[in-house]
Chains A and B, each alone.
Chain A
Amino acid sequence: MTFELSDRVQTVPPSGIRRFFEIAEERDDVISLGVGEPDFATPWAARDAAITSLEQGKTSYTANRGRRDLREAIADYVADRFDLGYDPDEEIIVTAGASEAVDLAFRAFVDPGDTVAIAQPSYISYEPGVIFAGGEVLPVPTYEEDDFRLTVEGLEEAGADEADMLVLCYPNNPTGAIMPAEDLEPIAEFAREHDLTVLSDEIYAELTYDGEHTSIASFEGMRERTIVFNGFSKAHAMTGLRLGYALGPADAIAAMNKIHQYTMLSAPTTAQYAALEALDSCENDVREMVSQYDRRRQFVLSRFREIGMDVFEAKGAFYCFPEVPEGFTAEEFAEEVLREQGVAVVPGDVFGAGGDGHLRISYATGLDDLREALARIEAFVDEHA
């Protein structure tokens, strides 16, 4: 028998990254600039806290919303770092990665037929998430000439004034763009004016290299219409531990928790102990990783300029987003450079509107590998462009 797949599942195309992954598997000398996760190990103190919790047999479910002490630590942390005030009892939910939190939000707030505007290029999971929830996606492209920042004109042009919801991701995966306070202000005004719910994925907030990260929820009148996502995967190098969280008004978090308590019950317990320690004592580790990323960022940007590829000045996350040289589509470039030089990069098209003609380059890789990978890209460009 064959399963009759739901329309929702059938509508979502397979991931654009899949095919490249298969090509990469054929070679054993691939240097990958295609990874969206840190190359650092989780800070030792956090790992040790996880180990200790296991030794003590702390392996049962926690409260649905996550351990109370962790929620308190998260509240203190976001207050301290991003000037956000959330009540640990009612306005915070701990999830299995920010991924789960994003999915909960779509399922909790999107009705069939609702329109969700997504500022693109952006992280690849939002669009399928909306479709799985029965909603419709409205892409809002951003452009290199605006430094990939979202503008009110861009929102208007795309028709986002008619949308129900707006998804933001800054610092951005894949462009590395950030939205400083002065750029967010008009977006906040637009959201209030058109009564948009805002989902703001701020998982790269710590990885901001130019100034401080500002959350859209910190603007007047935005807290009540915004869900902020964050987590431990990126800044604390904890991807495999699967721990994230969402912040929002009590009724919204309660709705998300309603789904969470039936589908996930609670986030991984071991990871919650690691996260608590990460917030408690790993600030210096985070700072050290951020400074390493920053050096690599400058290195990679400067090498692309030397190679003669136009590259956007990424100011956040651990990606940069160069333009492919003339004569190539992003897909072609990514495939050829992988086959000929063994360098894995992701074509910008997979990240949605505005991403075509670009490559996502991750510098979550050691400097020696970055140097070699860029030398190979240079050789490829010299030969073909």
Chain B
Amino acid sequence: MSEREVLELLRENARYSTADIARMTDLEEDEVEAAIEELEATGVVCGYQAVVDWDKLEDERVRAEVELNVRLDRETGYDDISQRLARFPQVKALRLVSGDYDFDMEVEGDSIREVSQFISEKVAPVPEITQTVTHYVMTSYKENGIELGDGEDDERLSFSP
């Protein structure tokens, strides 16, 4: 139970200190540390990353959502194809999905050219892949549950009854 609570708080903000998490959950600090270690050891928590609003940065960062259709045969399954694709560092996320296409792939690069080249030279030629549809991300409004853009000001009065 406490592990679950710690997990929720880490998802909210992975940079909460163990001391802060202990204060919020009424656990001891070493209990929080143990819970986090357990979550990491069992692979429930696989890593920690920053949620970035790239629009706020000068550097261009190009991202695309790519729909992939594949044809399976007796020797090749979804897992085989996914393994091959997931190894590319350009691929930030890869999911098998239900619906009109099979895989949903997030790709990142420094330029549209780089991303396009990656898709046409590395992804499309994979023999099982029958079709790719690339959607370039134009603006991101929400990432990992966090709304991007200017935080709204608190318009409440500083004192109220």
Contact = CB atoms under 8 A, between A and B. Distances in A.
B139 to A, nearest CB: 21
B159 A298 contact: no
Contacts of B26: 298, 302
Nearest to A25: B158
Contacts of B161: 15, 17, 36, 123-125, 173
B25 A30 contact: no
Contacts of A30: 158
Interface string A119-157: 000011100000000000000000000000000000000
Interface string B69-85: 00000000000000000
B154 interface: yes
A299 B156 contact: no
Given A36-B161, A123-B161, A124-B161, A298 B156 contact: no
A296 B26 CA distance: 11
Interface of A: 15, 17, 20-21, 24-25, 30, 32, 34-37, 39, 123-125, 173, 295-296, 298-299, 302-303, 344, 346, 367, 371
Contacts, number: 56
A299 B158 contact: no
Q: Lowest 6 CB-CB distances: which A-B pairs, in order?
A: A32-B158, A302-B23, A34-B159, A295-B24, A24-B158, A17-B159
Contacts of B157: 21, 35
B74 to A, nearest CB: 46
Given A39-B156, A173-B161, A299-B23, 12 more contacts: A17-B160, A17-B161, A21-B159, A24-B158, A24-B159, A35-B160, A36-B160, A123-B161, A296-B24, A298-B25, A302-B23, A367-B24
B1 to A, nearest CB: 13
Contacts of A36: 160-161
Nearest to A15: B161
Nearest to B22: A302
A71 to B, nearest CB: 27
A198 to B, nearest CB: 22
Contacts of B20: 299, 367, 371
B7 interface: no
B159 A35 contact: yes
Contacts of A17: 159-161
A346 B160 CA distance: 9
B154 A39 contact: yes
B9 interface: yes
Contacts of B154: 32, 39
Interface in B1-46: 9, 13, 20, 22-26
